[in-house]
Chain A
Amino acid sequence: MVKLVYRKKEWEVKPGMTVRDAILKTGLKPHAVLPVRDGKLINEETILRDGDEIKLVAVVSGG
């Protein structure tokens, strides 16, 4: 499975789908977050692999 983490929320999705599709499954909007895997920004079209943990960083943030 693939874990998606956004702030204090977590979701699990099946591997094999694109990052964009996974974000849509969480109910978040792809334009509102930046996907990061292993500390690296990844493309929305990246295919997720089993065991991936994707951190979704909010585009709007800060003071």
Chain B
Amino acid sequence: MRQHKLALCEEHFLEWVPERAKQTIQKYRMFGPEDQILVAVSGGKDSLSLWDVLLRLGYQAEGLYIKLGIEEGAYSDESLGYVERFAARQDGARFQVVDVKAVYGMSVPEIARARRRGHKVCSVCGLIKRHVMNRVAGEGGYSCVATGHNLDDEVAVLMQNTLRWQVGYLARQAPVLPSTHPRLARKVKPFVHLYERETAAYALVRGIDYIYDECPYAVGATTLFYKELLDQLEERSPGTKLSFYLSFLRAREQGLTFGDQSRPELHDCTRCGQPTTAPGLCAFCRLWEGV
């Protein structure tokens, strides 16, 4: 690992990853041993590795799999299979499944098509996942929702927001997204200091079987293009990604990201009760209007 000037054998690498995650959890005060954590699992390497690490560290971590209905359900069925097999291998790894089509009547691609936003499946997907995570976390009394975002994910978004000078997004990008409303779940990202290469290596060395194929809707995504550019920078100058991210977080802490860092006033959605920035229906409930 040139970025850390470190070379580890498998045994020590399997100790190093949880230790690094633990340091991140403690540094940003994400949660403690007494907290009930809801881990959003997709069947991919990051979320399954995160769940594995949290369980190894002794945290009370339960999984949430949101069945989106990708590729007429085939991709979702396959990814759910990885989650089920992972849980079966772990003692006491509890998880629940929310099937979007069964609960709301349409899968994510179907609702995207119905709303004539077929080219924006990813934005519909994100909206639905956020809503479901909030709902499940609130109903289950979880302290927070943990997601498997790694350093590469965060830095790609940071680069995108920087190039477009999206100061509002920059002000809100952080390892912990606080709850600013009673029905808004606190979100935490314990893997933000781990490179994607490290989470993939952890899954491989740990023997975690995960979905290998990229989500079909992610092909050609802008984020992947930024990741490739950042990899080139990292190749020339190891540690660039971590340095970029940590420098950004320091600047953000010092209030140097410009923009208005105050959060908008939140209202209760008149239908589902979840928070929304405008009075009336929230974006999730508006999505289902007239379909």
Interface-centre pick from B10, B75, B152, B197 (highest chain A CB count, 10 A): B197
Chain A, Cβ-Cβ closest to B153: A60
Interface string of A24-53 (1 = CB under 8 A from B): 000001011010100011000000000000
Chain B, Cβ-Cβ closest to A30: B235
User: Main SS of the interface on chain B?
Assistant: helix
CA–CA, A60 and B195, complex, Å: 11
For the A-B complex, the count of residue pairs with Cβ-Cβ distances under 8 Å equals 60
Which bucket holds chain A's interface residue count? 10 to 19
Chain B, Cβ-Cβ closest to A55: B204
Report the minimum CB–CB distance from B18 to chain A (whole Å): 17
Which bucket holds chain B's interface residue count? 20 to 34
| CB–CB A62/B43 < 8 A | yes
Report if A32-B212 is in contact (Cβ < 8 Å); known contacts: A57-B204, A59-B197, A62-B45. Answer: no
Report if A63-B231 is in contact (Cβ < 8 Å); known contacts: A34-B204, A41-B201. Answer: no
| Given A31-B231, A61-B212, 7 other A-B residues pairs in contact with their CB atoms under 8 A | A31-B197, A34-B197, A34-B200, A41-B205, A59-B197, A62-B42, A62-B211
Interface of B toward A, CB cutoff 8 Å:
10, 42-47, 70, 75, 79, 152, 196-197, 200-201, 204-205, 210-215, 224, 227-228, 231, 234-235
Interchain Cβ contacts under 8 Å between A and B, 24 examples: A7-B212, A29-B235, A31-B231, A34-B197, A34-B200, A34-B204, A36-B204, A41-B201, A41-B204, A58-B212, A60-B152, A60-B224, A60-B227, A61-B44, A61-B210, A61-B212, A61-B213, A62-B42, A62-B44, A62-B210, A63-B42, A63-B70, A63-B75, A63-B211
